[in-house]
Structure 1
Amino acid sequence: MTPILMVLICLGLSLGPRTRVQAGILPKPTLWAEPDRVITQGSPVTLRCKGNLEALGYHLYRERKSASWITSIRPELVRKGQFPIPSITWEDAGRYRCLYYSHSWWSEHSDPLELVVTGAYRKPTLSALPSPVVASGGNVTLQCDSQVPFDGFVLCKEGEDEHPQCLNSQPRTRGSSRAVFSVGPVSPSRRWSYRCYGYDSSFPYVWSLPSDLLELLVPAETLSPSQNQTDSKTGQHPQDYTVENLIRMGVAGLVLVVLGILLFEAQHSQRSPQDAAGR
């Protein structure tokens, strides 16, 4: 290997890490909302941004349209990546990202956080078709209806996870305030509770009040007639145990009767010689 080639290789190894730092490519932070990203109008919420251990400060912004409330956050909270909203309004809804800096270099942008504000419109109605009683392993159609002409609906599953799982849907026909969702297969081992919301597609992060809670009823599986008649492990009828117990009790009673008779005869035979001697 020639001396010139050796020098070039060493130079490349020494410049590689430094070049990555100068490019400002730090690991992207994590952005989340506490207590949740779907929040009722007037409630408090805090957006939190978390970078690596070398993070010295944070920056939060809203996509497409700036958010004036961010500039009023105290600097000591910004340095910690905390961005509280004491009382959220519809104007605060939107799609947010954050990033942090360390030693004059900025990180990548975080994944987007969609902050949703509910309560802008009247609540829709959620129903199960044909019935909220669903057989285990079956599917059911949930229908969300509203008197407000929404062009977007959201169905959220509640009860198990810390944050609801939501599905988005469009109405069946254009201009209709009705959307359907397919749910399943269901099982009795989990809870199946849902609410739905409506929204105007011009303001996709401003939702209506939630519908009343709809809970699906999934009866536990019952034994089939053949299983009721015969135990799968022993091959015996369930009634056999009762019959056997009755037989055992009858035999025990008969044994007691026989023993009583034998005892009586033994006593009687002892008295007979004594009576004869007395005479």
Structure 2
Amino acid sequence: MQIVTCAGPPRRVSCSGGCRSTTSAPRRSNGSSSRSRTWPRTMRQITDRSGSVRLWYEPNEIESIARDTLRQAGLWPTFDEPRVDIERLLETHLAAEVDYGVELEAEVLGYTVFDRPIRVVVNRRLTDAALGPNASIGAVGRWRATIAHEAAHVLLHAVLYPITAASSGRAASRCFRDVIADGARPRDWREVQANMGMAALLMPRSVFASVAELSLAPFGPVVPPVGATTLTGRHLVDVLAQSFQVSRRAAVIRLAELGFMSLSAAPDPRALEPVERKPAP
């Protein structure tokens, strides 16, 4: 039995806009699926100096794998409905047993058990924050990012663990603190790939770019990249975060990746997240 653990501090924040989620309450899936599981075919196995087996994907390959998986699952987003049903993808198409209501340590957002069937666990605190009546886009985005991150592990790395167990005996791969919640650059190659897969699943490149282009239209002729802290940049981030139901920092990073945004004026995308404010007495 192999486990991948993803860690990071869930934090409740508030925002001025409303947030939506199609899930009304935490639930546990049974992992059943009428669809065949799709495994990546473009990966290459390499062996590092320590003798451990690694999988190599080009960034465009991860984008293609995510795109093809969403289409095969019948979950490809549209311009009018850009939100990806990531829970359904993980539970139904990837046939994982998912439990959204497990009490975990505060710094652990979730983990994946590579057994048969594959099991994914999400921190109950994260779920409660995302599905509460006053849930912010930040809380919803972190919850969805955690689910998508684990889905990317299943999609990209499930085939690795029997190889790893046989070749090196390594039982676990950990996602370091803040990898999901704070957008820190992960040190483990698996987490780098899972974060890329997370972005590709939640914010498919072609649809994301189309929505971004339309969002810039009210500002007249605008030549990207725009500054992250400008009025145009903040508007763009707000629209993309709400449309795709991701956190603002996730939207900023994706916009920068696709050439729509410059981070020179705001190197830390956390600066764009609203801060928690206590109600006046």
Structure with bigger gyration radius:
1
Q: TM-score range by the shorter chain?
A: under 0.3
Give the structure, 1 or 2, with the largest relative contact order (CA under 8 Å, sep 6 or more).
Answer: 2
In the superposition, the TM-score normalised over structure 2's length comes to 0.26
In the superposition, the TM-score normalised over structure 1's length comes to 0.26
Q: Give the structure with the higher percent strand.
A: 1
